[in-house]
Structure 1
Amino acid sequence: MPITLIIIAITCVVSYLAFRNPRLMNDLILWPPAIARQREYYRLVTYGLVHADFGHLLFNMFTLFFFGRVMEGFFAQRLGSFGFVLFYIGGLVFSILPTYLKHRNDPNYRSLGASGAVSAVLFAFILLAPWQRILVLVVPMPAIVYAVLYTAYSIYMDRRGQGNVNHSAHLWGAAYGVIFTLLMDGRVLPYFLNQLVHPSF
């Protein structure tokens, strides 16, 4: 079974159980004081297994399903069978670290969801196929256009600092996806730049 489907299955099961069990949700969610004071470092990963609601879960897993399968093959060729698992877990940790450091002494802060790691997968995919059409809220657009809009929106919303969405994790996840992919194969960058100057719709 593809590793992408295994990640999706585990995330869906754990999220569903956490919807029905507040104690499980509290044990897995990113709560900075639990890491800083109680050294529960596992929360830097398990927060990505729980979601705020079914809509949040569905959006993340839908995105992961379509783009994860492509990137799974890419990383398997370079890191072995579990290369995509390594990449995905790294995305969870890397995307949330700035948030943790910022709120490590804030007992009222919590964060959850796989959005940071999913952003890493999506932006890694965009390096390989920048002009691939993707659906964004039923609107088709080239992946690179979505990347620009997504980044601008996330920066704007992160600076506003309003709402319950962790836009910082989205941005750091996207950055991680790009950096990790380029480190794995330096040929990706010239390929990406060449694709940019040769649009294909």
Structure 2
Amino acid sequence: MSFINTLKNKYKTGTIIEKLIYLNIAIFLLTLLITVFQGLYKGEQNFLVEWFSLDNNLDAFLTKPWSIISYGFLHADFIHLIFNMITLYFIGNLFIQYFTEKQALTFYILGTLFGGFLYVISQNYFPLFEGINTTLVGASAGISAIFIGIATYMPHYQIKIRFIGFIKFWHLAAIWLAFDVVGLIGTNAGGSFSHLGGSLFGYLYVQQASNKKTNISTIFSSFFKRKEKPLKTVHKSAKRKQKTVKNSNQNQEKIDVILDKISKSGYDTLTKTEKEFLFKQGKR
């Protein structure tokens, strides 16, 4: 019981990166347990994987739209899990030194989302994948978003790698992306597309943040932003303004003369022109 409590305390007090690692491990152990029990009853496929993995088939995807996110918490095997979690631990902890934990979660979730969309689109667009049914699992798209995000933010940051020495972050990012580009026609082409989708999100987010546009909605709005027409500026002429003031003063002087004439001689002494002028001024 103390072991369970220790795990609970570690989860509660851990960073968002540690919580993501614990969650991924817990889900993997659950899927492993289900696989063992289904195997005893000759079950063909793990129902958890079946319901939460991302299908390349659009019809299948529409029956379980949540899979565009949930696939990022599933893993194919132990090696797949370990590799991803080690990468997430080192890259993620570096990330939260410069960004908030909330942003780290955002990168992971929306990187997974972008990766999932690019996977589905690519599998249904390119002739190479025609007639092939595949499913996608793994946290790599979310991790790619975090990795490329921090590499974009500080490309010249150096880390020391054993037997190699110091290497800049952008060099590692370039190697990471190169493997994904080469893998687009490999056996894990779908995974490579999802990695690139996550990387694209990480790059776009940091580019927006560097321009002081840290709201996530700007990432999406940048794709659909309508070009605004420039406002029409009306320039007022100083000469015209002076002319208007001058005319106003002249009219007032003329009104004063007419009113003075009325007070001395009466209204009937006004000429037709004076009466019309006074009438027009009274209507303004």
CA pair 139-13 structure 1, distance change in 2 beyond 3 A: farther
Which residue in 2 is equivalent to 1:196? none
Displacement of 1:115 in angstroms is: 0.5
Pick one of 172, 184, 189 that aligns with 2:197. Answer: 172
Contact 1:134 1:143 in 2 (8 A): no
Pick one of 15, 18, 27 that aligns with 1:2. Answer: 15
* Superposition pairs of residues 43-82 of structure 1, within 5 angstroms: 43-76=67-100, 82=102
- Give distance in 2, aligned partners of 1:97 and 1:175: 12
Pick one of 128, 131, 143 that aligns with 2:153. Answer: 128
Pick one of 177, 180, 192 that aligns with 1:151. Answer: 177
CA pair 53-15 structure 1, distance change in 2 beyond 3 A: same
* Number of residue pairs matched by the alignment: 178
- Give distance in 2, aligned partners of 1:167 and 1:45: 17
* Superposition pairs of residues 105-124 of structure 1, within 5 angstroms: 108-124=133-149
What's the C-alpha RMSD, in Å, of the aligned pairs?
Answer: 2.4
**One-letter amino acid matched to 2:159:** R
- Give distance in 1, aligned partners of 2:146 and 2:161: 16
- Give distance in 2, aligned partners of 1:170 and 1:139: 25
Contact 2:28 2:74 in 1 (8 A): yes
Contact 1:91 1:173 in 2 (8 A): yes
- TM-score, normalised with respect to structure 1: 0.78
Asked if 1:142 is matched to 2:155, the reply is no
Residues 26-73 of structure 1: per-residue CA shift (max 9 Å, x gap):
11111243322x1x2210111011111111111111111112123235
Residues 140-160 of structure 1: per-residue CA shift (max 9 Å, x gap):
5332212222222221221xx
CA pair 124-134 structure 1, distance change in 2 beyond 3 A: farther
- Give distance in 1, aligned partners of 2:132 and 2:174: 34
Asked if 1:86 is matched to 2:111, the reply is no
SS where residue 199 of structure 2 aligns? helix
Residues 88-130 of structure 1: per-residue CA shift (max 9 Å, x gap):
1101001120111233696722011011110111111212333
When Rg is computed on C-alpha atoms for both structures, the one with the higher figure is 2
User: Percent of pairs identical after alignment?
Assistant: 24
Displacement of 1:135 in angstroms is: 4.2
SS where residue 82 of structure 1 aligns? helix
Asked if 1:12 is matched to 2:36, the reply is no
Structure 1 unaligned blocks of 5 or more: 188-201
Contact 2:122 2:193 in 1 (8 A): no
SS where residue 41 of structure 1 aligns? coil
Q: Which one is further off, 59-68 or 120-129?
A: 120-129
**One-letter amino acid matched to 1:150:** W
Structure 2 unaligned blocks of 5 or more: 1-13, 35-45, 125-129, 213-284
- TM-score, normalised with respect to structure 2: 0.57
Contact 1:28 1:47 in 2 (8 A): yes
Contact 1:14 1:49 in 2 (8 A): yes
Contact 1:72 1:84 in 2 (8 A): yes
Q: Which one is further off, 171-180 or 143-152?
A: 143-152
- Give distance in 2, aligned partners of 1:69 and 1:146: 17
